[in-house]
Amino acid sequence: MQKPMLIFLFCLLLISLSNSISTELFLNYDGSCDVHYYDIPPALSVELPEDAVDVFMENSSSDYSLSFRTQSLTRKQGLLWSVDYVSPFDAELTVILPAGARLTQGIGEVSTKNGLIYLQKEILSGEALDVEYSLYAEKDEFPFSYILLVLLFAVIFLIYYFYSRKPYLKLEQRVSADEKKLEFFPETEKKIIKFLLSNNGVTQKKLEAGTSLPKSTLSRVLSSLEVKGFVERKKVGLSKKIFLSQSFIEQIKKEST
């Protein structure tokens, strides 16, 4: 009677040891997975993946622990990652997703700690893991698209600015090279026109500061130039701005050619 009882107790001991195994899968941003097995009975052996690196084993008197890193447990399609893991034994399983991950399909009990998602369940030997998650903050994808977008807007703005200023820059160069085109204008009108050649589309306040003309004189001369068709006032946003008229610009161009 004692021998069968000892065999029975020994079997119970083996079962309890096998049930106490803990498995931890720590998923990384690059798709690699850090695998940790704890409290493995000496009678059980673990087959390592072919690409396993950083393998570490620690033995004690009653069990051993094993850890390694592998790329073979995850696969990616677009922004969606899935885990291909089959448990080699019955174990308490914990899966830890990368920071910023969003779980789309999980297993067991789900919790969060320090910004990480934890999945926990009891897994049986030969049981496959069914976990899917997405990474909306991946370093190589998410910010890079925004950088391209910002660069695109910057290029568009520079092209627009260059071509919108080009006629006035050419006009300014022509007039500065041959100021005789303005010699018949009164001095006050000449000041205003020369300032607008390089600063077309300014407020009256800025024009006053740029020409150093008194406010009353500036208002009177602007009214005269407006009547002659040389300048025009346009409402831009909440303020009015002063421009050289298109007809005057065309006239200067013809005289400069």
Work out the percent of the chain whose per-residue pLDDT is above 70: 78
Residue 256 has a pLDDT of 58
Say how many residues make up the chain: 257
Return the residue matching tokens 């998650």: 133
Phi, psi torsion values for 105, nearest 5 degrees? -155, 120
Q: How far apart are CA 253 and CA 173, in angstroms?
A: 11
Higher pLDDT, 106 or 85: 85
In the 8-state DSSP scheme, what is residue 128?
Answer: B
- Give the mean pLDDT of the chain: 80
Q: Which of 101, 118, 135 is the last residue of a domain?
A: 135
Whether residues 45 and 111 fall in one domain: yes
Note the Cα 127 to chain centre separation in Å: 38
**How many separate domains does the chain show?**
2
Name which of 57-71, 102-116, 139-153 the model is least confident about.
Answer: 139-153
Residue 18 has a pLDDT of 47
Would the pLDDT of 166 be above 60? no
Residue 165 has a pLDDT of 57
Return the residue matching tokens 């991950």: 101
Whether residues 40 and 110 fall in one domain: yes
Residue 250 has a pLDDT of 80
Q: What is the pLDDT of residues 231-253, one digit of tens each?
A: 999 888 888 899 988 888 887 77
- Strands (DSSP E) found in the chain: 22-27, 33-40, 53-59, 64-70, 74-77, 80-83, 91-96, 101-105, 109-113, 116-123, 131-135, 231-236, 239-244
Angle between helices 246-256 and 142-177 (to 10 degrees): 60
Whether residues 8 and 123 fall in one domain: yes
Query: Which whole number is the average pLDDT over 204-210?
Result: 90
Whether residues 6 and 131 fall in one domain: yes
Residue 69 has a pLDDT of 93
CATH number at residue 216: 1.10.10.10
Look at residues 204, 241, 245 and name the one whose alpha carbon lies nearest to residue 227: 245
Give the domain range for residue 19.
2-135
Query: Which whole number is the average pLDDT over 80-108?
Result: 86
Residue 68 has a pLDDT of 94
Would the pLDDT of 70 be above 90? yes
Q: Which of 76, 100, 135 is the last residue of a domain?
A: 135
Whether residues 50 and 159 fall in one domain: no
Whether residues 128 and 156 fall in one domain: no
Whether residues 11 and 104 fall in one domain: yes
Residues 6+ apart with CB under 8 A from 81: 27, 31, 74, 75, 101, 132, 133, 134, 135
Query: Which whole number is the average pLDDT over 2-28?
Result: 65
Half-sphere CA count of 120, side-chain side, radius 13 A: 9
Note the Cα 94 to chain centre separation in Å: 30
In the 8-state DSSP scheme, what is residue 108?
Answer: S
Residue 167 has a pLDDT of 54
Whether residues 116 and 13 fall in one domain: yes
Whether residues 64 and 88 fall in one domain: yes
Whether residues 107 and 151 fall in one domain: no
Whether residues 193 and 79 fall in one domain: no
